[in-house]
Structure 1
Amino acid sequence: MSRALLVSPSPAARAAEERLRATYEFVPPAEAEMIVALGGDGYMLQVLHHMLESRSIKPVFGMNLGTVGFLMNEWRLDRLEQRIASAKPFKVNPLRMSVITVEGEEISLPAINEVSLLRETRQTARIEVSVNDRVALPELVCDGVLVATPAGSTAYNLSAHGPILPLGSGLIALTPISPFRPRRWRGAILPESTKVRFRILDPHKRPVSAVGDQREVRDVATVEVAIDRTTPLTLLFDPEHTLDDRIAAEQFIA
């Protein structure tokens, strides 16, 4: 299988690139059947987003030369061809956020981990939350709220005390960030077929931004979030250290 090599700009990744190119053959990305990515989770998200934008979807085998590397395999120089041949594929369906800003601009962006709504000022946000066109919370007073996929449930969602979702669970997490009212609401676990809609109740006095993974849209009026099944992504993992194993293990880390 022909492969391309994409590398983050970090010194560690660049040094590893030299060793890989001296040992294995790679082709330009446009000619490749799959991608090898060197870096951390942030770089992996960049690679996946670029594929979504270019509509050129290929399996990705990542090797960690970043910090956490939750979406990556262990960095090793040896046996790359054998590792790719025996890798276990995981399909990841990204979220799609459809935004209308205060000025009426319409923006659509994908998100592999989560879509987050965040207050822009010192004042709390006031957000109406609808689930499948039914108002579930007439007013959520909070620092923000997010929708996370299973792949992203151990990232920002977990830091906000949201649930860890196993891959293949067919679920998404709806998690508040520092909720003030309703004070005891801790979020919801919803079927992945659910459409979640947020309406900012006072967007001029209490402005809110929407962030899809790493890309932000400021001063939003409404945001709709749903799973996008038209562009599934494939991540490749070593059989002994797969993503579902990692997600399960996170539930036992104190």
Structure 2
Amino acid sequence: MQSDSTACGLPPSHHAVLDPITLVLGGQSIAAEANPSAPLYELGRDVTDTSPKPSSAKFERIEYEDEDLVKSRSTVSLDQRSQHLFYLTHPLHAQYRTDVPAYYITSVSPEMPGKVVFQISKTLLRKPEFKAILVPGRTSPDGHLFDSATQKTLFHVKSKWKGGQYQWIDYAGQKVAHESSKNNEYKLVISKPIDRATRDILAAAWALRLWHDVAESRKAKWEYLERMTAPDTPSPYLNMKWAKRAGALGAAAGAGAA
């Protein structure tokens, strides 16, 4: 049977199909809800932080020597190693740029031969919708990094209503996962078996979508405006001038009181 990753444009996975799982984001780690002490993925930054820097983050898969111990939720020390899979990127000042997408993923792994770009559409009645688009190859024939001529949709992310949960729909129109968030706890409930390569890019795209929500929030935009309008290092001359003026006003007030 053809794997999901092959059908949606990814190469065949050499790993067994993985069972449904609920992923939980905690800081810079993503773990299974059933075993939060054994992270499955690590990120190079906290995507729920409103700071614009760093503008890209490593996305690594954590592999364990004994997967059976992980499944059994053993508390013994687990030998592990990390495999760098992707970079998640939200370029600085992306809203003013046309040369790169505002949110995208580049791959350092041969399992993902290309880049994943977020296409974002907004409506009045619903939350923003996202399409995770695979752009095959490192560069296009004309040398551009992102070539729309050969793109393929991996996932369509949308909610049924404005306050509803985000649903992750695959290339075939099948729901593969949905999001859940409460009290700043973020979960991705993967509801069908998928192979490892597909879960890797699904988890990475989910983290990037959360980054979008935080970066586009009112709080982040307000902090951005504050940084843009805040003066640079105060001038010693201006500080002295204001000190003299304050002293003069204080003296005048004292004379009036007398």
In terms of fraction of residues, the more helix-rich structure is 2
Measured against the shorter chain, the TM-score band is under 0.3
TM-score (norm 1): 0.23
In terms of fraction of residues, the more strand-rich structure is 1
TM-score (norm 2): 0.22
More relative contact order in 1 or in 2 (CA 8 Å, sep 6+)? 1
Which of these two proteins has the greater Rg computed from alpha carbons? 2
